[in-house]
C-alpha cells in the first residue's frame, strides 16, 4: 500500500495552508486534516509551533494532534524534553525541510526511549515537514506511521515544496495584522484595488501571472500534483502572498498581502540579498530559495554571488556563518 498517494490532493494542502485568517490552532488543525488525505489511512498526524530564539522548543500548549490521540500527544511532549533530545530536535528545526526520523536523528541513544514509546503506541517511523524561519520561529507537521517510511525522489520534492509553503503561510498567519493588503484582484485576475509603492505595470503583470498559475494548478491538481505544486508559488516576486477572500454573497477575491521574509540586519547587503542568504542559512538550496521567494533560479544565484563579494567571503559555508552570526546579534 502506498504511504503517499500519487493522486492525492496536494493543492488542497496549499489551499488549507493559506486559509490564514483564523486562530492558529484552528488553522493548524485544518492543515493536518487536509494533509491526512494524501497519506496512507494508517498514518497519524500532529503539528508543533516552536520558537528556538531562547534555546527552548515547545510545551504541550504548542502541540496540536489530529483526532483523539493522547498517546501521540505524550510522544511529542517527550520528544521535546531533555538536553540531548532538544539538541537533535532544534538542529532538525533549524536545517530540515522534510525528512524521516532516521534522517534527522543524530543521537540514536538519546532517542531510544522515545522510539520505545512510539512502538508501544503502534508507531514505527516519523516524517517531519518543517516550516522554518531564519529567526527560529516556525511550525512543523509530523506524520507518524506504523511502518518504515520511504519516498521516491519525486515524492520528496513534493514534501519539500509543502514545507516551503508551510514556512510562508505560517509567517503570514502569525503576522497577519501587520501584513498590509497591497492589491485586490477579482477571480479572473483583474485588478480591483491597488495600494502599493511598486510600479503598477510590474505589479499587475506579476500578480495576474500568479493568479493564472494558481488557477492552472487547481485544474491540474489531480492529474499531476508535482507540476501543480511547482506552478503555485507562495510568494510573488519575494513580496506578496496571495490569499483567497470571500464576501457574504460568495463573491471571490484574491488579496495580495505583503509578506517579506525576515532576515538579519546586514548594512552591506540589499534587502533581496539579505533574504536570499537568510534562507541559505537555514539549509535552503538555491532551487528552493527561488521557489520560496517566487524568483528565477538564476536571480537567486546572482544574489548569492553578490552577497559573497560584498561580505568578502569565497564559499557558501562562510557566507552562511556570517549570516548566522548576524542573526544571533539581532
C-alpha–C-alpha distance, residues 66 and 166, integer Å: 17
**Mean per-residue pLDDT for 41-48?**
93
The per-residue pLDDT for 2 is 53
DSSP state of 4: B
Adjacent-strand bridge partners of 138: 50
The per-residue pLDDT for 1 is 37
The per-residue pLDDT for 224 is 81
- Exposure string for 240-266, b = 16+ CB within 10 A, e = fewer: bbbbeeeeeeeeeebbbbbbbbebbeb
Q: Which is the CATH superfamily of the domain at 10-174?
A: GAF domain (3.30.450.40)
pLDDT for 83 beyond 50: yes
**Mean per-residue pLDDT for 42-68?**
83
**Mean per-residue pLDDT for 3-25?**
87
What percentage of the chain exceeds 70 in pLDDT? 94
The per-residue pLDDT for 121 is 80
Whether residue 172 contacts residue 241, with contact meaning beta carbons closer than 8 Å, is answered with yes
pLDDT for 299 beyond 60: yes
The per-residue pLDDT for 75 is 86
C-alpha–C-alpha distance, residues 94 and 96, integer Å: 6
Q: Which three cell numbers stand for residue 126?
A: 516519523
C-alpha–C-alpha distance, residues 75 and 66, integer Å: 14
SS3 140: strand
Q: Where are the domains of the chain?
A: 10-174, 179-258, 271-329
The per-residue pLDDT for 327 is 67
Closest CA to 93 of 135, 43, 62: 135
The per-residue pLDDT for 57 is 61
Please give the C-alpha separations between residue 171 and each of 24, 187, 235, 309, in angstroms, as whole numbers.
Answer: 11, 25, 12, 30
**Number of H-type helices and E-type strands within the chain:** 13, 9
| pTM of the predicted model as reported, rounded to 2 decimal places | 0.93
Indicate the helix (H) or strand (E) that contains 193: strand 191-194
pLDDT tens for each residue of 145-197: 998 898 999 899 999 999 999 999 999 999 998 889 999 999 889 999 999 88
Q: What is 271-329's CATH topology?
A: Arc Repressor Mutant, subunit A (1.10.10)
Backbone angles phi, psi at 283, to 5 degrees: 90, 5
Please give the C-alpha separations between residue 157 and each of 3, 10, 21, 162, in angstroms, as whole numbers.
Answer: 15, 12, 28, 9
Backbone angles phi, psi at 20, to 5 degrees: -85, -10
Question: What's the order of all strands across the beta sheet hosting 44-51?
Answer: 63-65, 44-51, 137-145, 125-131, 98-100
Task: Give the count of alpha carbons within 13 A of 273, CB side only.
Answer: 18
C-alpha–C-alpha distance, residues 118 and 290, integer Å: 37
The per-residue pLDDT for 223 is 78
Whether residue 95 contacts residue 87, with contact meaning beta carbons closer than 8 Å, is answered with no
**Mean per-residue pLDDT for 38-55?**
87
Whether residue 30 contacts residue 19, with contact meaning beta carbons closer than 8 Å, is answered with yes
The per-residue pLDDT for 9 is 82
Average model confidence (pLDDT) for the chain?
89
Q: Do domains 10-174 and 271-329 have the same CATH topology?
A: no
Backbone angles phi, psi at 72, to 5 degrees: -70, -40
Name the band, by pLDDT with cuts 50, 70 and 90, for residue 222.
confident
Amino acid at each position: 500500500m502506498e504511504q503517499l498517494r500519487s493522486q492525492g490532493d496536494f493543492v488542497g494542502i496549499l489551499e488549507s495552508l493559506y486559509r490564514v485568517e483564523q486562530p492558529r490552532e484552528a488553522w493548524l488543525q485544518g492543515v493536518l486534516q487536509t494533509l491526512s488525505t494524501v497519506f496512507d489511512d494508517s498514518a497519524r498526524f500532529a503539528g508543533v509551533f516552536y520558537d528556538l530564539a531562547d534555546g527552548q522548543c515547545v510545551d504541550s500548549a504548542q502541540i496540536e494532534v489530529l483526532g483523539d490521540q493522547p498517546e501521540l500527544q505524550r510522544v511529542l511532549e517527550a520528544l521535546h524534553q531533555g538536553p540531548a533530545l532538544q539538541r537533535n530536535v532544534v538542529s532538525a528545526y533549524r536545517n530540515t525541510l522534510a525528512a524521516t526520523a532516521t534522517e534527522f536523528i543524530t543521537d540514536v541513544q538519546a532517542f531510544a526511549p522515545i522510539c520505545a514509546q512510539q512502538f508501544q503506541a503502534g508507531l514505527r517511523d516519523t516524517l517531519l515537514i518543517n516550516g522554518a524561519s531564519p529567526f527560529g520561529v516556525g511550525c512543523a507537521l509530523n506524520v507518524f506511521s506504523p511502518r518504515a517510511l520511504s519516498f521516491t525522489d519525486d515524492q520528496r520534492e513534493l514534501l519539500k515544496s509543502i514545507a516551503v509553503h508551510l514556512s510562508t503561510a505560517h509567517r503570514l498567519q502569525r503576522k497577519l495584522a501587520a501584513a498590509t493588503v497591497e492589491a485586490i484582484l477579482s477571480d479572473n485576475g483583474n485588478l480591483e484595488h491597488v495600494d502599493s509603492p511598486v510600479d503598477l505595470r510590474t505589479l499587475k503583470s506579476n500578480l495576474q501571472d500568479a493568479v493564472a498559475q494558481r488557477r492552472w494548478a487547481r485544474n491540474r491538481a489531480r492529474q499531476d500534483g508535482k507540476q501543480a505544486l511547482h506552478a503555485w508559488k507562495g510568494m510573488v516576486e519575494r513580496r506578496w502572498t496571495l490569499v483567497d477572500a470571500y464576501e457574504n454573497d460568495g463573491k471571490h477575491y484574491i488579496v495580495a498581502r505583503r509578506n517579506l521574509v525576515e532576515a538579519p540586519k546586514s548594512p552591506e547587503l540589499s534587502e533581496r540579498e539579505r533574504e536570499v542568504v537568510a534562507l541559505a542559512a537555514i539549509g535552503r538550496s538555491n532551487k528552493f530559495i527561488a521557489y520560496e521567494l517566487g524568483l528565477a533560479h538564476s536571480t537567486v544565484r546572482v544574489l548569492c554571488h553578490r552577497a559573497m563579494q560584498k561580505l568578502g567571503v569565497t564559499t557558501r559555508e562562510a557566507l552562511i556563518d556570517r549570516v548566522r552570526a548576524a542573526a544571533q546579534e539581532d
